[in-house]
Chain A
Amino acid sequence: MSHLGYLIAGWGLVLGSISAYAASLLRRGRVISAQVSADRQRWMTTDESAAEDDA
C-alpha cells in the first residue's frame, strides 16, 4: 500500500483527536455532575420522574 505513512497520520489524527476529546468530555462531565444536585440536572428527568421526586 502506497503512502501508508500519510494514511496512518491522517486517520490517526482524526480518530486520536476525537477519542481524546471524547475522553476529556466524559471525564469533565463526571467531575462536574458530582457538583450539581439531581434536581438541577433537568435535562435528565422526565415530567413523571420529576413529579415522583417532588412527592
Chain B
Amino acid sequence: MPTTTVRQPEAPAIEPGSGTGSPKTRILGIACLVGVVVLFVFAFFLTEEDQVQGDVVRMIYVHVPVAIIEYFGFGIAAVGSVMVLWRGSMWWDTAAVAGAELGLLYSGLMIGTGVIWGRPTWNTWWEWGDARLMTSLMLFLVYLGYLAYRRTVPDAETRARRSAVIALVGIINVPIVNRSVEWWANQTLHQQSSLSDGRLEDLTLFTLAMGFVVFGMIFVWLLIHRFRFGWLERQAEMHGLEAALAERRAQRDADIDESLAHPGVSEGDDMRGGDDMGGSDDMAAGSGDVGEAADGAGQQSGDQA
C-alpha cells in the first residue's frame, strides 16, 4: 500500500506530556464556554415560548444544531476514508476517526434530545416505525460499528482500509436521514425542516443561528483535540513497535555473542540461532553482518560435529 507524507498543520511547539492543547485551542475553548453561557441566556430568558409547543421549544437550540453538525463529522470521516483508499494516507485515517467519533457523539445527542423532546410533543419517547427516527438510529449504529471494528484489527494499514469502506457505506445514509421527513412524510411524526419552512423569525431564528455557531465552535475544538490525540496514539504505537524491534535485535546480538564465545553449543541451540537470523532480514539494518556471524557460528558447530 503506498504511503504519502502530508505536511502537518502548523502550531506552536509545546512540551511533551502537556497534552493536546495549544494557545489557539485554549482561546477557542474559552470562546466556546462564553458562547454556551450566552446561548443559554438567550434560549431561556430572552426568547419567547412557542404558541403550540410552549417552553419545550427551547430544545430546538441544541437539537437542531447538533443534528446538522453531525453531518460534518461523518462528512470528514467520508473524505478521510476516500483519501485512505486513494492515497493510503494515515494522516487522513486519523482525521477520519476524529470526524467519525465526533459525528457519533453529536448523533447520539441528536437522538437523545429528540427522544426527550418527543415525549411532551408527540406523547411518546420512541416510534419504531418512524422513518426519521429509524434512519437516524441506523446512521448512529453504522458509525458505532465503524469505531468498534477498528478496535478489532491490530494492523494499522489493514484497519484503515477496511474501516474506510465502512465509513463510505455509512455516509450513504446521511442524505437519507436528512430527506426522510420529505420522502416518507406520512411515516414520521417528525416535522418538516424548521429552517426551510421559514416559520422561525426574529430572536428565535437569531438564537438558533447562535446555537449553530456555538456548537460548531465546540465541534472544531473537539475535532482538533481528537485529531491530535489520534496522531499521538499512532506515534506511540509506532514507537512501541520500534522499541520491541530494538529489544529483539539486542537479544539476537546477545545470542550471537554467546554462540561465538561458546562454540560447543548443542545442535538445537544452533538451529534456533539460524531461525533468528532468517527472521531478522527484513527488519534490521546491518543484518548482513549478523548473517555472516551466524554462518560462522554454524560452521563452528558443524566442525564440532
Please, which residue of chain B has its CB at the minimum distance from the CB of A35? B236
Instruction: List B residues 48-69 near A (Cβ within 8 Å).
Output: 49, 54-56, 58-59, 62-63, 66
Main secondary structure of the interface of A (DSSP, over half): helix
B300 contacts which chain A residues (CB < 8 A)?
none
Instruction: List B residues 12-32 near A (Cβ within 8 Å).
Output: 12-22
Interface string of A9-32 (1 = CB under 8 A from B): 111011101100110011011101
Interface size on A, residues (CB 8 A): 37
Given contacts A4-B55, A18-B105, A30-B18, contact A44 B120 (CB under 8 A): no
Q: Per a CB cutoff under 8 Å, which of A2, A6, A18, A49 touches B119?
A: A6
Please, how many angstroms separate the alpha-carbon atoms of A22 and B33 in the complex?
Answer: 12
Q: Are A33 and B222 within 8 A (Cβ)?
A: no
Cβ of A37 to closest chain B Cβ, rounded Å: 6
Cβ of A29 to closest chain B Cβ, rounded Å: 4
Question: In the complex, which range does the number of interface residues on chain B fall in?
Answer: 35 or more
Q: Are A2 and B19 within 8 A (Cβ)?
A: no
Interface string of B254-267 (1 = CB under 8 A from A): 00000000000000
B288 contacts which chain A residues (CB < 8 A)?
none
Q: Are B54 and A36 within 8 A (Cβ)?
A: no
Q: Are B105 and A21 within 8 A (Cβ)?
A: yes
Interface string of A31-49 (1 = CB under 8 A from B): 0111111101111111101
B232 contacts which chain A residues (CB < 8 A)?
29, 32-33, 35-36, 41
Q: Per a CB cutoff under 8 Å, which of A1, A9, A18, A33 touches B18?
A: A33
Q: Are A40 and B22 within 8 A (Cβ)?
A: no
B222 contacts which chain A residues (CB < 8 A)?
18, 21-22, 25
Residues of A within 8 A of B (CB): 1-4, 6-7, 9-11, 13-15, 17-18, 21-22, 25-26, 28-30, 32-38, 40-47, 49
Q: List 27 A-B contacts (CB under 8 A).
A: A2-B49, A3-B120, A4-B55, A6-B59, A6-B117, A7-B55, A7-B56, A10-B59, A10-B62, A10-B113, A14-B112, A18-B218, A18-B222, A25-B222, A25-B229, A26-B19, A29-B21, A30-B20, A32-B229, A32-B232, A33-B18, A33-B20, A34-B16, A36-B239, A41-B231, A43-B231, A47-B10
Give 4 new A-B contacts, CB below 8 A, not counting A4-B55, A26-B21, A29-B20: A1-B55, A17-B112, A36-B232, A41-B16
